[in-house]
Structure 1
Amino acid sequence: MSDPNQISFAVSFLCSAFAACFAEFCTIPLDTAKVRLQLQKKAGVDDGVGLPKYKGMLSTIKTIAREEGISALWKGIVPGLHRQCLYGGLRIGLYDPVKTFLVGSAFVGEVPIYHMILAALLTGALAITIANPTDLVKVRLQSEGHLPSGVPRRYSGAIDAYLTILRQEGIGALWTGLGPNIARNAIINAAELASYDKVKRTILKIPGFMDNVYTHLLAGLGAGLFAVFIGSPVDVVKSRMMGDSTYKSTFDCFLKTLLNEGFLAFYKGFLPNFGRVGAWNVIMFLTFEQAKRFLRG
């Protein structure tokens, strides 16, 4: 018989990859709106920039749908699903095994919060290092509509984007923005998984609450809110590094954004980001918990 830990990881990986892909498909219009808002610079920063084109989550979604068609809201869905299969499956699938390794297999009782955070930081960093090329292509495709009118689109689709980047920029370019991406995803993964874990355990201690969809929904919302507050600044830098090649480095991007647009620029797209991350976490964790129960009987 196979090792129980291997079975547990396999089940967790399959469930989390499926749940992450489903959540990605449902919420990618919000993510596209978030990326456009993050890439949009303050009036006066660009040459001749007037009033901002995008003015909020719903307005941005409407503008994209009107000018580019509804399908533009799902631009980047193919690499997005590639990303979630790798990143979503690994970061969640490895979380419990890494957490167990940190506390020791003989540990009994509730795992300390700092072990939860460390486990999520490690799995988030490892997973996004592997999945960075998919994230890069996703952001590049989502930012296509941000190009000025009349400028030809760079890529015809996900596969063309991978091949074009490889051919024109080299294999290393697929890991553009890896630094802020590791920072962002390690931090957000810690915020999501550790907070979900902790909130769920706390809720289950309250009389009347059980391990059901209501508990999963509340824990998922808490995880999403905490993740956006913590991760929004590095998320903005990551999106700009991947979507705009004018920045020389992560620090250059951070400094120019701060000096030209102020600290609040790091929370551009906050509402669509929370709408997306909050909805994503609720859908993902609900789907993950149900898929896990189904596979484990």
Structure 2
Amino acid sequence: MVADSKGKSDISFAGTFAGSAFAACFAEICTIPLDTAKVRLQLQKSAVAGDGMALPKYKGMLGTVATIAREEGLAALWKGIVPGLHRQCVYGGLRIGLYEPVKNLYVGSDFVGDVPLTKKILAALTTGAIGITVANPTDLVKVRLQAEGKLPAGVPRRYSGALNAYSTIVRQEGVGALWTGIGPNIARNAIINAAELASYDQVKETILKIPGFTDNVVTHLFAGLGAGFFAVCIGSPVDVVKSRMMGDSTYKNTLDCFIKTLKNDGPLAFYKGFIPNFGRLGSWNVIMFLTLEQAKKFVRSLESSRA
């Protein structure tokens, strides 16, 4: 399990998967308004109005949240929550549930001591890539639903809900379309997963070596914030490309999206939505890891009582 770096997990894979999926879903419910704001900011492009530049519709995290709530209602902030929960059940369960066994595989069954940071990163890269390859359709539908609200007034919506979005995409674009953006999505999620799990593992391990610190909520809080910060700094550029490819079908491929974004909006566009992204991932990681640690205790006691 995450941060159990001094030995093998004493929880079954099924228990780890269930606890991870629950923690990820709970964090998703709490923070998806920030994710919706992040996606809107990332999809926002520079537009020309007359001889000058048009003012952007969305400004900052709180401004974007307020604009969406005012123009579309509070419920719009939770658009994409259903596929978001689908995603977290699959992706969250796999990437965290597989982390410990993959990490043990890389260091070997006879390894003793603290796992090297490089092995933690490699393990997290692997489980992130595996998890998102399976969960990409849920990610695509979530982004499509979140992007719906930016359509002009009077323009009919493409999807009535998550299930309708899955079926419509398959019917109109083919099954393969569910894996649109899989390249940048694997890159983004593998990198962010490595930043989150490896940094949480490492930060927690380091904190526990400081006199006075124990394996408690304070330690989990600091480790979760560290995980969120590293994840945003490292993963923001690929996250922007992923969101644009999933939200706009005019891009030919990952490279085309990267070049057009750089040419039309400049290099800073790759860090559009950085503050809401950190607000989202920082709070998401804190909530997720705090919940996960409690879920681990519950599953451990449950499995011990059944032994």
Per the normalisation by structure 1, the TM-score is 0.96
Q: Which amino acid aligns with 1:200?
A: K
Deviations 1:23-53 (A, max 9, x none): 0000000000000000000233999972100
The alpha carbon displacement at 1:147 in A equals 1.2
Among 229, 235, 238, the residue aligned to 2:233:
229
Kindly indicate whether residue 126 of structure 2 is the aligned counterpart of residue 122 of structure 1. Answer: yes
In structure 2, stretches of 5+ residues that fail to align are: 1-7, 302-307
The alpha carbon displacement at 1:101 in A equals 0.6
Residue 45 of structure 1 contacts residue 260 of structure 1 at CA under 8 Å; is this kept in 2? no
Kindly indicate whether residue 281 of structure 2 is the aligned counterpart of residue 277 of structure 1. Answer: yes
Residues paired across the two proteins, number? 294
Residue 121 of structure 1 contacts residue 190 of structure 1 at CA under 8 Å; is this kept in 2? yes
Distance 1:140 1:229 in 2: 24
Kindly indicate whether residue 246 of structure 2 is the aligned counterpart of residue 242 of structure 1. Answer: yes
The alpha carbon displacement at 1:11 in A equals 1.4
Cross-structure match for 1:44: 48
Among 162, 168, 176, the residue aligned to 1:164:
168
The alpha carbon displacement at 1:98 in A equals 0.2
Distance 2:14 2:113 in 1: 25
Distance 2:93 2:44 in 1: 31
CA pair 151-176 structure 1, distance change in 2 beyond 3 A: same
CA pair 207-45 structure 1, distance change in 2 beyond 3 A: farther
Distance 1:288 1:104 in 2: 26
CA pair 165-63 structure 1, distance change in 2 beyond 3 A: same
Kindly indicate whether residue 71 of structure 2 is the aligned counterpart of residue 75 of structure 1. Answer: no
Q: Which amino acid aligns with 2:259?
A: L
3-state SS, counterpart of residue 143 of structure 1: helix
Identity over aligned residues, as a percent? 79
Cross-structure match for 2:96: 92
CA pair 292-264 structure 1, distance change in 2 beyond 3 A: same
Distance 1:140 1:165 in 2: 10
Among 188, 194, 203, the residue aligned to 1:184:
188
Residue 225 of structure 1 contacts residue 274 of structure 1 at CA under 8 Å; is this kept in 2? yes
In structure 1, stretches of 5+ residues that fail to align are: none
Over 4 Å off, 4+ runs: 4-7, 45-49
Distance 2:124 2:207 in 1: 20
Among 135, 142, 146, the residue aligned to 2:139:
135
Among 200, 204, 208, the residue aligned to 1:200:
204
Cross-structure match for 2:157: 153
The alpha carbon displacement at 1:8 in A equals 2.1
Deviations 1:36-92 (A, max 9, x none): 000000233999972100001001001100110100000000000000000000000
Per the normalisation by structure 2, the TM-score is 0.93
Among 3, 9, 17, the residue aligned to 2:13:
9
Cross-structure match for 1:21: 25
Among 228, 237, 256, the residue aligned to 2:260:
256
Root-mean-square deviation (Å):
1.7
Residue 196 of structure 2 contacts residue 230 of structure 2 at CA under 8 Å; is this kept in 1? yes
